[in-house]
Structure 1
């Protein structure tokens, strides 16, 4: 699985209406400890949510949020490597997936004793399997790569959270999976 295909330069007509946001924030070891970042992501949560790399912070939403964190000492519903997360749920179980892995080796060492997402492409394939058609993929990091275009996702939004030079800015993207969300129950395996 690993590779998602070669990157190519693209001119996307659909990006003409791309929503862009810019905020200033104080950096924090945990992404969602920033009130501005937390509010931004919570406003974008819809339906059943998987917080794939939850960390310490609990997001608030009017539907169920399933929290996964590889660290067994964290308060989470599941403690699995995000590269294997699709093994624990039925396909197309979630309407929104929040993907906030350690952004760098430094962050991985500081917050997760060196554990990191080993294969980002594999993790995104797992997430794609779990996300319902029409669902949202929200990613945080130092890049706006998001879901690969080879999977047909459409970029909806990009946000920049400027740390005012204290460290790298946080970047976030919202990508939508092709198709339409369907109503109805979806359950854990």
Structure 2
């Protein structure tokens, strides 16, 4: 008898909270690709939907706790991030810091966007942050250069971003299953 593993719980985190952002459109595109896979169950965590405090309080607010609970439930993450001034947005860093143990021993991948660099500077810095949280970042990601033309949806439908999304999903699924099995067999110790 062959056991079928439960679907991998993939949380897609939209890291920009700016009005007029394109991150939600890029996230929808990625979620559509991920949702075609039977081995994943996708949820979206849109930081714009959380009312986080402007400062870090002594006790977690209900919104901070809700975010940390979403992170805890996930087996793997994709962070959809813009690049602002060669980095990622403060809203994303603030949210990441609201959880700690909940991130441990899980994989993260990146779908980034920006002008010219396609968000790679933001991804480089996020890899450092997630390494400190004991998160495994997968090698490949998706980068979208916002200067490549006006029709974002048409560009996302092209072969290169579609293939990049599939490679990212392949890596996340492998690491997600492996680390989920590892956490079940041996609790992670940081």
Q: Scaled by the length of structure 1, what TM-score is found?
A: 0.42
Larger RCO of the pair (alpha carbons < 8 Å, separation 6+):
1
In proportion to residue count, which structure has more strand? 1
In proportion to residue count, which structure has more helix? 2
